């Protein structure tokens, strides 16, 4: 590809090597590489299901040992609220109360989310404030027809003058209305973290945010700090980071030539949540809980949710101790063939890692090196919920390029659904990934792993997008819990679906899981 001097300067200004851009262009030409799913992970075959007694044991192990570790909660929170209100935007552009009744419009478009919105939008935590803005800006509000009032109230929710929620990061949208307060998703994450990631009266949280929104998060934190401290008795340490511009990726046209803006400049897009592996890599912690900003529960459910976080945490600490013990023993180099075989069985039974077919033919030194390589990796325990039709990734046993099988979280876009066998496996999946992870990111000698070494770069995504009304192809880096963690050791544990309450659209706030009554 022949770039102009201006192009090269633009690339260098972003801190990206020209060779990396050339590699990205090769990926566009190559296309998405589908993964080879061998089977869907199910209970008993890739997914652990624990009895109540075992859950209590793991929870107790976590509670007894967590003070020995530096624990942090990591929350991807850079998403804007725009997508939450996408259907509402379309409605405001299409609906004219002078020409049509709202009931007829809703019947015509047959949109479940929009129907739920208008049936119950007075239950939204920001409804009353929106009404006040609508009244303030429309002196004749009381005399208007009901449909016109609903339009004005909806505009007051989304735009300025009004609440201007469309210009908010999703984490700062009010999610829950209690008797004495209205809580944003950001605030709910603080209450939640206090229940399971607190150590010695302190609690560390890290939010990845858009640079333009950092001040808004800081202002919200300062506004709620006193009441959160009073309610929890915990001292919080909240830090932030941005997605590094050097993780942006170049966009291309349909013919895979670089997409250019109206100013004839190259166009770069954020590299997706997979770029956040660098943010995670820059943190100093022993144990990291990862959860999306929009997945929070109301206060009446938070204890149950926190209990399962402790179950996952207990499983991680217990399994990590076992891995570390094996690694220390392997350092001695005096293990018998039988002991090496036991470690191989551990890999298979506890980490779902198949071994090399020729393992038995290797020399003792080769066996030790092989087992050390497999064990000395970042570790994650991932909660999985039964599939109830939510979009997103799922747990699969994947056959890797070297012929071995490992547990992976795979997005639907990574699966070759045109392949009848692969599609059949995907359709029979029983569980779903709710982004409920607890991770060990230090090795057995107490050193932080370089997480970049455990990324599978082939698991990138090519997606169809638009810019200024023109179609383009965008490249997303291997997803944070997908390809960016592909070479981690992974365990899946079933958790109740009640622990998963994402808010993808504003109408999700009207579901029973987010309503106080």
Q: List pLDDT tens digits, range 214-249.
A: 999 999 999 999 999 999 999 999 999 999 889 999
C-alpha 266, offset from chain centre: 29
| Count of domains observed in the chain | 2
Residue 311 lies in a domain: yes
Residue 98: pLDDT band with limits 50, 70, 90: very high
Residue 338 lies in a domain: no
Over residues 271-276, the mean pLDDT reads 92
Over residues 61-81, the mean pLDDT reads 96
Residue 389: pLDDT band with limits 50, 70, 90: low
Pair (146, 268) in one structural domain: no
Out of 115, 141, 167, pick the residue that ends a domain: 167
Domain that holds residue 145: 86-167
Residue 340 lies in a domain: no
Distance CA 290, CA 435 (A): 7
Strand ranges for 1-148 from DSSP E: 37-40, 42-43, 46-48, 71-76
SS3 192: helix
pLDDT score of 390 more than 70? no
Q: Which two tokens stand for residue 2?
A: 């022949």
Pair (445, 303) in one structural domain: yes
Residue 286 lies in a domain: no
Pair (273, 412) in one structural domain: yes
Residue 230 lies in a domain: no
Residue 349 lies in a domain: no
Pair (39, 95) in one structural domain: no
Pair (443, 311) in one structural domain: yes
252 DSSP assignment: B
Q: What is the pLDDT of residue 412?
A: 83
Q: What is the value of pTM for the model shown? A: 0.94
pLDDT score of 391 more than 60? no
Out of 138, 167, 196, pick the residue that ends a domain: 167
Out of 167, 198, 227, pick the residue that ends a domain: 167
Pair (61, 90) in one structural domain: no
Pair (409, 315) in one structural domain: yes
C-alpha 407, offset from chain centre: 18
Residue 259 lies in a domain: yes
Pair (25, 53) in one structural domain: yes
């Amino acid at each position: 590809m022949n770039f102009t001097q201006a192009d090269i300067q633009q690339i260098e200004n972003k801190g990206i090597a020209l060779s990396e851009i050339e590699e990205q262009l090769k990926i566009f030409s190559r296309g998405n590489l589908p993964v080879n799913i061998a089977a869907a992970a199910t209970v008993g075959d890739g997914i652990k299901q624990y009895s109540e007694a075992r859950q209590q044991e793991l929870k107790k192990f976590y509670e007894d040992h967590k003070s020995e570790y530096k624990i942090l909660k990591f929350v991807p929170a850079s998403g804007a609220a725009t997508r939450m209100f996408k259907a509402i935007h379309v409605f405001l552009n299409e609906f004219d109360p002078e020409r049509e009744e709202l009931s007829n419009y809703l019947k015509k478009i047959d949109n479940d989310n929009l129907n739920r919105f208008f049936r119950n939008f007075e239950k939204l935590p920001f409804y009353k404030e929106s009404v006040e803005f609508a009244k303030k800006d429309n002196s004749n509000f009381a005399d208007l027809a009901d449909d016109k009032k609903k339009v004005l109230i909806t505009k007051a929710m989304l735009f300025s003058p009004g609440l201007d929620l469309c210009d908010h990061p999703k984490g700062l949208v009010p999610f829950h209305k209690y008797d004495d307060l209205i809580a944003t998703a950001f605030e709910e994450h603080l209450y939640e973290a206090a229940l399971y990631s607190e150590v010695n009266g302190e609690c560390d949280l890290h939010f990845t945010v858009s640079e333009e929104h950092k001040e808004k998060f800081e202002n919200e934190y300062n506004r709620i700090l006193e009441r959160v401290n009073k309610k929890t008795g915990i001292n919080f340490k909240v830090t932030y980071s941005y997605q590094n511009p050097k993780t942006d990726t170049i966009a291309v046209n349909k013919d895979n030539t670089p997409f250019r803006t109206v100013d004839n400049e190259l166009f770069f897009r954020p590299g997706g949540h997979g770029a956040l592996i660098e943010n995670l890599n820059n943190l100093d912690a022993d144990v990291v809980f990862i959860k999306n900003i929009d997945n929070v529960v109301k206060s009446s459910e938070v204890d149950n949710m926190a209990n399962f976080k402790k179950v996952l945490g207990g499983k991680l600490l217990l399994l990590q101790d076992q891995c570390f013990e094996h690694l220390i023993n392997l350092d001695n180099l005096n293990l018998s063939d039988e002991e090496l075989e036991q470690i191989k069985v551990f890999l298979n039974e506890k980490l779902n890692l198949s071994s090399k077919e020729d393992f038995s033919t290797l020399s003792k030194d080769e066996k030790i090196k092989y087992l050390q390589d497999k064990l000395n990796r970042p570790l994650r325990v991932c909660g999985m919920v039964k599939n109830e039709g939510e979009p997103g990734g799922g747990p699969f046993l994947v056959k890797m390029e070297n012929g071995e099988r490992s547990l992976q979280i795979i997005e639907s876009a990574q699966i070759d659904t045109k392949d009848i066998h692969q599609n059949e496996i995907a359709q029979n999946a029983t569980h779903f990934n709710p982004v409920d992870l607890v991770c060990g990111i230090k090795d057995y000698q107490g050193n932080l792993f370089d997480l970049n070494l455990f990324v599978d770069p082939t698991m990138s995504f090519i997606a169809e997008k638009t810019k200024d009304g023109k179609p383009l192809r965008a490249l997303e880096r291997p997803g944070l819990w997908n390809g960016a963690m592909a070479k981690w050791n992974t365990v899946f544990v079933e958790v109740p679906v009640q622990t998963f309450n994402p808010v993808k659209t504003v109408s999700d706030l009207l579901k029973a899981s987010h309503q106080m009554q």
